[in-house]
Copies of this chain bind each other. A is one copy, B any other.
């Protein structure tokens, strides 16, 4: 059971709820978000129902749902959410049920030239958001770990040049504020899906979040990770399926295409697919992109690189100029058949109205 406090609830209001729950033998966990406080109750749910918490001062809502996640569940929120990215920089790009959004760019930011070239490739493919890593979580400590803040600056310059809002990964809770200064959307990677300190930090950062599924996380655990972000008052979350770990070796991971309709059934959050990290092979990216669109994904996130052979990270899966035409055709032709329009950027002034 979850008690959602209203934005103007006072500390006393919160304390009163906690006290009443404790008096009934329950436990109350307080999560203070940016705009509202949420109180999770653990204990005898039947008994809590008798406490009439909904009538207490400062209480906006009392949610009683059977799923272990509440705020991201579709049970209490049947309409699908649209998340807007870039509203306060170059203009908002929607990710949601009515549109189809292509996010593309280099796996890692290496140089200004490589990043700009990759962004131009991304645009040629129909992308309206730019991806690119400045902080790279790498399995081996002896491989390229990203340019850090220098990479963030390159991304901001390329955004200014191209008009593409920027999605980039953050790996350390201590870096969240820094990354949020440059980026339009914060990405939490597969290895950090259960890094709860990081989830809480991005939940409080005032930026939309792209939450990749852990490579061996169930869909339920993925939604629970999203709940950690939502608890801090941030519901601008986009889920990203990027392949799970199985015994099959022909692909780097196994794209769990079923996760798209399953997550859409359980949660109101948008779902995008990363065919590049799923497959780990360039030749599969376009077929898997088509499959993702057909399965109902709200968008794609794809690696592109002007010269994959020299890429410092994951070159084997990056699309090149030659492959872009096929991806562009898929992104242009298939979504309309499923009732979607290509997501385009609103001008900043329009975006202010969303």
What is the number of residues of chain A that contact chain B, defined by CB distance less than 8 Å?
75
Is the CB–CB distance between A197 and B221 below 8 Å? Answer: no
User: A173-B174, A220-B250, A247-B247 are known contacts. Are A139 and B194 too (CB-CB below 8 A)?
Assistant: yes
Which residues of chain B are within 8 angstroms of A70 by Cβ–Cβ distance? 142
Contact of A350 with B by CB under 8 A: no
Number of chain copies forming the complex = 4
Task: State the Cβ distance, A172 to closest chain B Cβ, in Å.
Answer: 4
Is the CB–CB distance between A257 and B255 below 8 Å? Answer: yes
Is the CB–CB distance between A258 and B254 below 8 Å? Answer: yes
**Cβ-closest chain B residue relative to A216:** B216
Is the CB–CB distance between A247 and B246 below 8 Å? Answer: yes
Q: How far is the CA of A293 from the CA of B145 in the complex (A)?
A: 39
Which residues of chain B are within 8 angstroms of A287 by Cβ–Cβ distance? 258, 260-261, 294-296
Among A74-82, A276-284, A315-323, the one that faces the other chain is A276-284
Is the CB–CB distance between A258 and B255 below 8 Å? Answer: yes
**Cβ-closest chain B residue relative to A288:** B258
A residues sitting closer than 8 Å to B (CB atoms) are 2, 27, 29, 31, 40-42, 68-70, 137-145, 171-174, 191-192, 194-198, 215-216, 218-221, 224, 227-228, 231, 244-251, 254-262, 265, 278-279, 283-284, 287-288, 290-296, 333-334, 337-338
A-B pairs, top 4 by smallest CB distance, nearest first, are A216-B216, A294-B294, A40-B142, A172-B197
Q: List 27 A-B contacts (CB under 8 A).
A: A40-B142, A42-B142, A68-B139, A139-B221, A139-B224, A141-B228, A141-B231, A171-B196, A172-B173, A174-B174, A192-B195, A216-B245, A218-B247, A218-B249, A218-B250, A244-B248, A248-B256, A250-B258, A255-B256, A257-B257, A257-B288, A258-B284, A258-B287, A262-B284, A287-B294, A291-B294, A333-B337
